[in-house]
Amino acid sequence: MSYSDNTHGDTHHGDHDDHGPAPGLMRWVTTTNHKDIGTLYLWFSLLMFFIGGAMALIIRAELGAPGIQFVDPMFFNSMTTMHAIVMIFGVVMPAFVGLANWMIPMMIGAPDMALPRLNNWSFWIMPFAFTIMLSTLFMDSGGPAGGWTLYPPLVLQMGDSFAYVIFAIHFMGISSVMGSINIVATIFNMRPPGMTLMHMPMFVWTWLITAFLLVATIPVFAGAVTMLLTDRFFDTSFFSAAGGGDPVMFQHIFWFFGHPEVYILILPAFGIVSSIIPTFARKPLFGYDSMVYATASIAFLSFIVWAHHMFTTGMPLAAELFFMFSTMMISVPTGVKVFNWVSTMWRGSMSFETPMLFAIGFVIMFTIGGLSGLMLAITPADIQYHDTYFVVAHFHYVLVPGAIYSLMAATYYWIPKWTGNMYDETLGKWHFWISTIFVNVLFFPMHFVGLAGMPRRIPDYSLQFADWNFVATIGAFGFGFSQLLFVYIIVKCVKGGEKATGEVWEGARGLEWTVDSPAPYHTFETAPVINESTLTR
């Protein structure tokens, strides 16, 4: 990255005897610097974004017309499975961790993450874990094809790749737990005097709560896949009714992890949007306290709603009612957030640079996904919608123009701080508008075919779904290829461009804007003085 060249000449190290980055490739392997590790995470997730995206395009190419065109059904199913695993564990999570690495120490005024060596390990597990995961696609039996949720008994019928898939999940889990423990320790222990909990930037708050969710649920997931492993290889009967177990039990344990996991994928996005909107509305965030409490409430509720993923698998009526109402309750704190963002913009002196466009796009389209989620929460309705493309439309609206848009917004917002250069604003706006048109062309028709009854995870469909599927496929290729523009803008910005000031954005508040652009290799080696003007609230 370009900032490395600048840091050598940087005098910020002052009288310390430390040095800048080590020369050569080993710098990236042995680095303990939160900015280096953040950069590694971000590049890794960008690479995985294109791998997962290529899988999505294979799926959409196959679904472009009824009948089987390009791939056989087994491979199709392994594409849907792998697409989910790559996008969740390889793109959105590492990208958020990368942003946490880059930004949290700078936002709270800490010299680095609390445990820098552990931080290095958290990243360097990821390439190895994904080597194992992706290698299963090249094994004789093919990759996992039973869906990313790994439901038994189907998943137990997987070929030789089964054990590797389980171990890859364990491997990633080690990385996630270590990474999130590090983030919790950093936030609790590395704040200078004056940076009280209720003065932290929202991105830090949302990550604190996300890290808690990760530490609480990833081990449960590890337990669930361990039970799958022993059911397959060591004769246990956890998920076999013949031995007194229950396949539905896996779904309960899995979704006890899985539902908090979906908030892991969106809470940091809330934090990013809560950072960007105040900057471009030139107003402090409306309702900071309620934002914090809403985030905490969402995290709490996420632990008691899991069975809404399983309304059709069979459970007592009382349980269905409980999970329906608890799920609907989530819309209250989420609504608080959306109203707060809108109120922040109300009567602000707004300007619409690319990060703001993506943030506003997030608010609107995430809300669309939230509303279809509310429809799915209604048990009797869900029995109709379950496993249709309506569900696919719902979670893609919250994850693509939701989580992914927040990542793009964050990239445009902070890349001047990372590289010292402004990105190309015109191209950024093009990227936003092309993406936004195509993402809706891609996912909106899925609502229609879903409500009409098109099932998910099947490579073929009835003729009446053909038109909208063709439209969605056009949207998919348009959205997919327009992301090459994103890469071009990033590379162009890394290589050069108009120099960014330290503040970057007019009136932007927060400690990260008080240091130079690009940010020096080491920031806040001595605790900054925290006062009104450096706080985000």
Catalytic residues: 83, 112, 148, 175-176, 259, 261, 263, 274, 308-309, 334, 337, 456
Contact 478, 434 (CB under 8 A): yes
Residue whose CB is less far from other proteins, 182 or 406: 182
Interface residues for other proteins in 235-274 (CB under 8 A)? 235-238, 240-246, 248-249, 252-253, 256
Which residues have a Cβ under 8 Å from the Cβ of 9 and sit 6 or more positions away?
A: none
Residue 111 contacts other proteins per CB under 8 A: yes
Residue 22 contacts other proteins per CB under 8 A: yes
Residue 19 contacts other proteins per CB under 8 A: yes
Residue 222 contacts other proteins per CB under 8 A: yes
Q: Which amino acid is present at 33?
A: N
Give the total residue count for the chain.
537
Q: How far apart are CA 68 and CA 394, in angstroms?
A: 26
> How far apart, in Å, are the Cα atoms of 462 and each of 25, 68, 386, 449?
53, 12, 18, 10
CB of 233 to other proteins, least distance (A): 5
CB of 248 to other proteins, least distance (A): 7
Residue whose CB is less far from other proteins, 219 or 502: 219
Residue 75 contacts other proteins per CB under 8 A: no
> Mind spelling out the 3-state secondary structure of 202-266?
HHHHHHHHHHHHHHHHHHHHHHHHHHHHHHHHCCCCCCCHHHCCCHHHHHHHHHHHHHHHHHHCC
Token pair for 79: 């594409």
Question: Which stretch, 17-25, 96-104, 147-155, 282-290, contacts other proteins (CB under 8 A)?
Answer: 17-25
Residue whose CB is less far from other proteins, 12 or 457: 12
Of 88, 100, 125, 299, which one interacts with other proteins (CB under 8 A)?
Answer: 125
What is the b/e burial string over 239-251, where b = at least 16 CB atoms within 10 angstroms of the residue's CB?
A: bbeeeebebbebb
Interface residues for other proteins in 180-209 (CB under 8 A)? 181-182, 184-185, 188-190, 192
Residue 317's Cβ-count burial label (10 Å; 0-12, 13-18, 19+) is exposed
Residue 157 contacts other proteins per CB under 8 A: no
DSSP secondary structure letter of residue 529: P
Question: Which stretch, 4-12, 468-476, 488-496, 520-528, contacts other proteins (CB under 8 A)?
Answer: 520-528
Q: How many residues interact with other proteins (rule CB under 8 A)?
A: 82
Residue 43's Cβ-count burial label (10 Å; 0-12, 13-18, 19+) is middle
Contact 439, 400 (CB under 8 A): yes
Of 118, 296, 427, 485, which one interacts with other proteins (CB under 8 A)?
Answer: 118
Residue 342 contacts other proteins per CB under 8 A: no
Of 218, 266, 368, 530, which one interacts with other proteins (CB under 8 A)?
Answer: 218
CB of 19 to other proteins, least distance (A): 7
Alpha helices for 63-201 (secondary structure H): 73-85, 93-108, 116-135, 161-189
Of 65, 220, 328, 427, which one interacts with other proteins (CB under 8 A)?
Answer: 220
